[in-house]
Amino acid sequence: MARTAEGGAPACRRRADRARLVADVLRAQILSGEFPPGERLPLEGELAREYRASRNTVRESLALLRDEGLVERVPRLGTLVVRNKYAHGLNRLLGLSEMLHEHGRVRNEVRAVTVVEAPPAVAHRLRLDPGSPAVYVERLRRVGGLPLSLDLTYLAPDVGTPLIGEDLENNDVFALIEEVCGRPLGDADITLEAVGADPHSAAVLQAPPRAALLLLERLTHLDDGRPVDLEYIRFRGDRLTMHGRLTRPTPGRTPEWP
């Protein structure tokens, strides 16, 4: 598909490398909604022309997308998009229902609501005294009936205790906190990782064993800066993307490496 930089013979690149390349651009088109669920992708021959690739390479790239669960290959029909992913914003702090309100109802299966003695590391993050109680909430969250995430939440006791009687099945914790406290949340520190699902988490999320998960740790503060909500959220990787916009710091600075 390419001339080398030197303008010489066709680059001899492995087919798997070329297939990844085609798959990545097609994946982005699916995720952006350019090819929505139910739509047929262009025919193999057309994709081969677009990407200056062989039909074998195109077939291999479609197999990669099929293995990710994004498309299905239907004899005589072609390649159908069968799934998109929900887009979760990285630039604003929103609860899941707020984020996905156009995609249908978020339903939470509440697996636990208990008062616990906060483990020391949790107490430290929430700036609680050692041995202080915390409210622990565990929810399996479904959108469109399918599991999207498993959320483990520790709440500062004054914020969490009034939530125990609330409708946690149909409401975001964020909204409930703001209602109960009568003040808005401020910001949140997040850490994102990709991890393979352990067998039990995979089973709870109805995902294949070792399925790739997005693991989000999120420490949310009230608008006065006090941390009140520490969460560990496992999103099914095949059902969600995170998107945002990053800005280049200190424009014009000289790079500090050779």
CA distance 89 to 100: 10
Of 155-214, binders to a second copy (CB under 8 A) are: 164, 170-172, 175, 178-179, 184-196, 198-201, 210-214
The identity of residue 153, as a single letter, is T
Interface segment toward a second copy; rule CB under 8 A; list 73-81, 96-104, 141-149: 96-104
The identity of residue 251, as a single letter, is P
CA distance 242 to 94: 12
Of 28-47, binders to a second copy (CB under 8 A) are: 28-29, 31, 34
Beta carbon nearer to a second copy, 80 or 87: 87
CA distance 188 to 190: 6
Contact characters 58-77, a second copy, x per CB under 8 A: ------x--xx---------
Of 12-31, binders to a second copy (CB under 8 A) are: 13-14, 16-17, 19-22, 24-26, 28-29, 31
120, 130 Cβ separation under 8 angstroms = yes
72, 80 Cβ separation under 8 angstroms = yes
Write the CA distances from 247 to 74, 89, 253, integer angstroms. 42, 15, 14
Q: How far is the CB of 26 from a second copy (least distance, A)?
A: 8
Q: Report if residue 5 touches a second copy, rule: CB under 8 A.
A: yes
Contacting a second copy (CB under 8 A), which of 55, 169, 223, 226? 223
